[in-house]
């Protein structure tokens, strides 16, 4: 049976397409990663504390370690005198045990010596030197004018973290806080999910790299830097193949060389119906089943995807607006799933439509909107405070990319729906698609 032309294939909803992409996507494996290289990586295990933190009872203030029982009779009128038997700084270890009537000068963070159960701050002591009866030797003492309770100014072992407690689950993206906690527990590395390896190519004989001279009929290629950074923020390790002209043999050769080493191939251009759109042919020559042929979405309808469960290929439109939407709506969650990240639900909030009536006829639409607040007094309905209003950020034409520079959020209109002035709507903040 002859292959059906692309324009005869049904368009599918982008949310259905997302489910198809994620259907065979599972975390790719684990590897041990040193803390210095682990920022932004994804924990592959539940992190369980291997020890108590802190691992010992310690002084919480500069002062004197004492036996609380020795201070119970102290009053301003009749102070208690304790003999100073030594000193200990943080990182040192005083090996003795406090005898009745003695104390140890101690610094914040130092190991609480055996026999002691409290610390008296320096400012609550009166330091003195006295002569002993035997041989007239001078001895250092402190006088206390009030009793202290057992546990005063003591940091107890495990009061921060108990050995065996789960500190964070598998799937957590590691921030400086998680890295500090891992180091706090004495570990120099952690098992992380492997980052998905992505190869990215821009196809099109009309494309030239930014910084080059621009011949007649050529345009500058901008999808690579946009997609590389978007996919890296989603957790991918991206290899840039550069610009490849509309030459199938050259495209195939370059792709074939890297395919065994990657988890996902992404090309821009070649996803539509033109004579030089090579994506569908490449998909079939690679032997990948065609999962998605095109989307019910404007902009962004040109999206081609195939996978055999191990190798994956996605062809995005060469149009930067469409390429962006395909990347953030579909490839971003795919990369996150492959990299072991939990998929966060779309952030969304309510607003009021302040633009003209617009409809999704023919295809579902993704509108780029700008947001601003107005006082409730200016709103149609009586409300307190302010009301968020959404309006078109500019031209909604797919070839006008600069609209994104004024865009705060996306408004999705499913096929057949429309929006009229003052309608209550739900928008998706744009910044969420740039977050790690």
Per-residue confidence band for 385, with pLDDT thresholds at 50, 70 and 90:
confident
**Phi, psi torsion values for 51, nearest 5 degrees:** -160, 165
- Asked whether residue 344 is assigned to any structural domain, the reply reads no
- Asked whether residue 343 is assigned to any structural domain, the reply reads no
Task: Out of 306, 338, 370, pick the residue that ends a domain.
Answer: 338
Alpha-carbon gap, residue 323 to 281, rounded angstroms: 19
188 and 205 part of one domain: no
CA distances from 27 to 43, 178, 354 (A): 11, 21, 43
- Asked whether residue 178 is assigned to any structural domain, the reply reads yes
**Of 46-55, 254-263, 271-280, where does mean pLDDT reach its minimum?**
271-280
Mean of pLDDT values over 361-380: 84
**Of 259-263, 273-277, 322-326, where does mean pLDDT reach its minimum?**
273-277
Q: Could you list the residue range(s) of the whole structural domain that residue 93 is in?
A: 58-155
**Phi, psi torsion values for 354, nearest 5 degrees:** -110, 10
258 and 334 part of one domain: yes
147 and 264 part of one domain: no
pLDDT in tens, 232-249: 999 999 999 999 999 999
Mean of pLDDT values over 12-21: 93
Position 167 scores a pLDDT of 96
3-class DSSP string for 248-277: HHHHHHHHHHHHHHCCEEEEECCCCCCCCC
Task: Out of 284, 306, 338, pick the residue that ends a domain.
Answer: 338
Q: CATH number, domain at 47?
A: 3.90.105.10
- Asked whether residue 171 is assigned to any structural domain, the reply reads yes
Position 252 scores a pLDDT of 93
Per-residue confidence band for 339, with pLDDT thresholds at 50, 70 and 90:
very high
Q: Is the pLDDT of residue 119 over 50?
A: yes
Q: Is the pLDDT of residue 106 over 60?
A: yes
Average pLDDT over the chain, rounded to an integer = 91
Among 65, 69, 68, 71, which Cα is nearest to 104's? Answer: 65
Greater confidence (403 vs 5) lies with 403
211 and 309 part of one domain: yes
The bridge status of strand 418-419 relative to strand 219-220 is unpaired
Mean of pLDDT values over 111-126: 95
Alpha-carbon gap, residue 300 to 381, rounded angstroms: 36
Q: CATH number, domain at 92?
A: 2.170.190.11
Q: Residue for token digits 């009749």? A: 78
pLDDT in tens, 68-81: 999 999 999 999 99
pLDDT in tens, 187-209: 999 999 999 999 999 999 999 99
Task: Out of 275, 308, 338, pick the residue that ends a domain.
Answer: 338
Q: Is the pLDDT of residue 425 over 80?
A: yes
Position 384 scores a pLDDT of 61
* Helix, strand or coil, per DSSP, at residue 208: strand
203 and 264 part of one domain: yes
Q: CATH number, domain at 385?
A: 2.40.340.10
Residue pair 139/129 in contact (Cβ under 8 Å)? The answer is yes
**Of 3-7, 53-57, 174-178, where does mean pLDDT reach its minimum?**
3-7
13 and 64 part of one domain: no
209 and 310 part of one domain: yes
Alpha-carbon gap, residue 247 to 278, rounded angstroms: 8
Q: Is the pLDDT of residue 171 over 50?
A: yes
Position 9 scores a pLDDT of 62
Q: Which ranges of 8-114 does DSSP label H, i.e. alpha helix?
A: 14-23
pLDDT in tens, 289-298: 988 988 999 9
Per-residue confidence band for 275, with pLDDT thresholds at 50, 70 and 90:
low
Position 378 scores a pLDDT of 54
Mean of pLDDT values over 128-137: 72
Position 1 scores a pLDDT of 36
Position 2 scores a pLDDT of 42
Q: Name the domain count of the chain.
A: 4
362 and 259 part of one domain: no
**Of 143-152, 242-251, 381-390, where does mean pLDDT reach its minimum?**
381-390
- Asked whether residue 160 is assigned to any structural domain, the reply reads no
182 and 138 part of one domain: no
Q: Is the pLDDT of residue 340 over 90?
A: yes
Q: CATH number, domain at 251?
A: 3.40.980.10
Greater confidence (133 vs 223) lies with 223
pTM given for the model? 0.83
125 and 251 part of one domain: no
- Asked whether residue 436 is assigned to any structural domain, the reply reads no
Position 343 scores a pLDDT of 87
- Asked whether residue 98 is assigned to any structural domain, the reply reads yes
């Amino acid at each position: 049976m002859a292959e059906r032309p692309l324009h005869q294939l049904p368009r599918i909803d982008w949310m259905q397409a997302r489910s198809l992409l994620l259907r065979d996507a599972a975390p790719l494996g684990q590897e041990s990663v040193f803390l210095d290289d682990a920022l932004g990586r994804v924990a592959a295990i539940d992190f369980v504390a291997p020890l108590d933190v802190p691992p010992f009872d310690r002084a919480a203030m500069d002062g004197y370690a004492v036996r609380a029982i020795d201070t119970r009779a102290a009053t301003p009128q009749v102070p208690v005198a304790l003999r100073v038997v030594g000193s200990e700084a943080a990182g040192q270890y005083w090996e003795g045990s406090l005898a009745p009537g003695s104390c140890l000068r101690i610094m914040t963070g130092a190991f609480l010596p055996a026999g002691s159960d409290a610390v008296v701050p320096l400012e609550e002591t009166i330091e003195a030197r006295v002569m002993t009866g035997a041989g007239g030797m001078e001895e250092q003492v402190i006088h206390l004018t009030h009793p202290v309770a057992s546990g005063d100014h003591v940091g107890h072992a495990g009061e921060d973290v108990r050995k065996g407690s789960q500190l964070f689950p598998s799937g957590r993206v590691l921030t400086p806080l998680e890295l500090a906690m891992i180091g706090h527990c004495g570990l120099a590395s952690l098992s992380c999910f492997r980052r998905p390896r992505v190869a990215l190519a821009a196809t099109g004989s009309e494309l030239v790299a930014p910084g080059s001279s621009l011949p007649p009929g050529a345009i500058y290629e901008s999808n690579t830097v946009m997609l590389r950074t978007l996919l890296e923020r989603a957790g991918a390790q991206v290899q840039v193949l550069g610009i490849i002209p509309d030459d199938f043999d050259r495209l195939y050769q370059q792709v074939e060389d890297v395919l065994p080493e990657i988890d996902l191939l992404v090309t821009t251009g070649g996803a539509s119906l033109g004579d030089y759109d090579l994506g569908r042919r490449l998909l079939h020559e690679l032997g990948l089943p065609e999962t998605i042929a095109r989307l019910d979405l404007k902009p962004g309808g040109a999206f081609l995807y195939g996978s055999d469960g191990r190798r994956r290929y996605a062809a995005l439109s060469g149009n930067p607006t469409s390429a962006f939407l395909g990347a953030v709506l579909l490839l971003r969650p795919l990369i996150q799933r492959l990299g072991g990240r939990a998929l966060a639900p779309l952030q969304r909030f309510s607003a009021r439509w302040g633009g003209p009536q617009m409809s999704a006829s023919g295809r579902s639409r993704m509108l780029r909107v700008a947001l601003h607040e107005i006082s409730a007094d200016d709103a149609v309905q009586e409300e307190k405070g302010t009301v968020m209003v959404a309006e078109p950020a500019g031209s909604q034409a797919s070839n006008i990319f600069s609209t994104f520079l004024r865009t705060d959020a996306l408004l999705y209109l499913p096929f057949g729906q429309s929006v009229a002035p003052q309608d209550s709507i739900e928008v998706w903040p744009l910044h969420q698609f740039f977050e790690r």
